[in-house]
């Protein structure tokens, strides 16, 4: 994985974590995982 992609993921993760509520972790994780999958296909 490219360093710039890792940085983008980190920023997106932090942004998703702003919306903290019960059960928000699995949701944020799923969003991020799907994003990674899409990005991996584009390369």
pLDDT confidence band for 2 (50 / 70 / 90): confident
d(C-alpha 6, C-alpha 4), whole Å: 5
The pLDDT assigned to 36 comes to 87
The residue segments making up the domain with residue 15 are: 3-42
Closest CA to 11 of 27, 26, 28, 23: 28
d(C-alpha 32, C-alpha 16), whole Å: 9
For the whole model, what pTM was predicted?
0.52
pLDDT confidence band for 42 (50 / 70 / 90): confident
Residues 17-34: tens digit of each pLDDT: 777 777 777 788 888 888
The pLDDT assigned to 32 comes to 86
Show the tokens assigned to 26.
Answer: 């699995």
Is residue 32 a contact partner of residue 13, using CB atoms and an 8 Å limit? yes
State the total domains in the chain.
1
What's the distance, CA 29 to chain centroid? 6
């Amino acid at each position: 994985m490219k360093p710039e992609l890792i940085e983008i993921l980190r920023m997106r993760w932090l942004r998703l974590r702003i919306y903290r509520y019960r059960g928000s972790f699995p949701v944020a994780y799923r969003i991020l995982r799907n994003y990674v999958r899409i990005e991996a296909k584009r390369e």
